[in-house]
Amino acid sequence: MVHTLEMTYDVAVLGGGPAGYVAAIRAAQLGAKVVLIEERVLGGVCMNAGCIPTKALLKTSEMISSLKRAKEFGLENKMENVRWDMAGLRKDRVVKNLRIGIEQLMKGNQIEVIYGRGTVLSAHSLEVKTKEDKKMISFRKLILATGSKPLIPSFLKGTDLDGVLTSTDMLKFTELPKTLAVIGGGVIGVEFATMFAAAGTKVTILELKDRIVWTEDQEVSAELEKILKRQGITVKTLAKVKEIKKGEDGLTVVYEAKEREQELVCENVLLSIGRELETESAKVLGLELAEGNRIVVDEYMQTSNPDVYAAGDVIGGKLLAHLAFMEGRIAAENAMGMKHTLNYMAVPACIYTSPESASVGMTEEEARAKGIRPQIGKFHMRHNGRALTQGEREGFVKVVADEKGVIIGGQILGANASEMISELTLAIMAGATAEMLADMIHPHPSMSEAIWEACGEIAGKAIHKL
């Protein structure tokens, strides 16, 4: 017999991913009685099937690459065949530890967590079906943080074949595939390509557009493509995939490139052409939706219903966990009566290839499109002392400033780019000029000196550049 329980809260959060759990914690900190509804496990895609497990895998592939380069660093390496034991990977332990941490945060902030499928009934009520019972939840404010899932294109034949995988499926591998076709050369595609190529898989990227990671600066995109090719990855741009077929030797990807139909035989196919937003609840509530099925929110994360807020992937834009953290926080604060906003110009984006790529603010092309005459400072990592000592000479730092020298964007391609980009993010937040960073003392030797030199070029103070 299923019992129905009725419960009342100040704030209900639907979804326990980056936006949802942060929103719940912040609302509780501000004095709200909070309930968080999560169908699966806390942490969302990012922690359980995205950011965290993939970075753990990338660390493993990085170590394989380092072992292969041992002689370069003066080490005698007799391990000729390094084997990637995918069945014994540490990623699951890392994920488990972080999930336990979030569970403790929920308890510490006295947040009620209900595991089950939540169905929104109105702007002030929802139903949760758990394994044991059915709960009716009422609340004053609702925060939707239902996230997204891998997009399976309906127009592409063969996506249901064995061996055709999403990014989530790829994390379940226990043995390395010999060959892998990656459909989509965006962030997810190039990260998995880097990871598996380092471990010995023959990888081919098929990208519809004329360049990989096409949302990034053109110079970064072009240089990253060259680096991936040097790593043994085949990159085919302007490649339109038409069909995936089952063959005697595995899978065959049929695609069109250079005005002719071509075929690629492989063991597995990764579909990485985007993500589908989970906006079912928004449709039930009749909330305003926009292109891409995203929930429309104002600068306060408020939807077309004043008592409903939304944050994270469901509102579209850049689908980044760290942005979802902040959107969840802002949604909670405003649901509690505040008027806080985000600076979307200062949102860093990172690609965890080898080397990494990171960007923030405007690219040179975007600045010109807005009528700005940008000042550009650039410094190559091959001239950076720390980069050379680490054997990481690939890439460069590029800083974009406006006519007055105020930093409006930056791109970094190189080792530790995801850590270095925060300096430029802070510069944009603070409205700093390139001259200010050129006058700032950076530690030596350090990768961050490349930012100092790039800013120095704009300010006319570059030292180690002819």
Side-chain half-sphere of 18: how many Cα atoms within 13 Å? 23
As given in the structure block, the two tokens for residue 269 are 């196919």
Burial of 372 (0-12, 13-18, 19+ CB in 10 A): middle
Do the bridges between strand 134-144 and strand 4-14 make them parallel or antiparallel, or are there none, so unpaired? parallel
Q: Terminal CA-to-CA distance of the chain, rounded, Å?
A: 79
189: amino acid identity, one letter: G
How does 116-140 read in b/e, with b if 16+ C-beta sit within 10 Å? bebebeebbbbbbebeeeebebebb
Catalytic residue among 124, 322, 442, 444: 444
Q: Catalytic residue at 380?
A: no
Residues classed as catalytic: 444
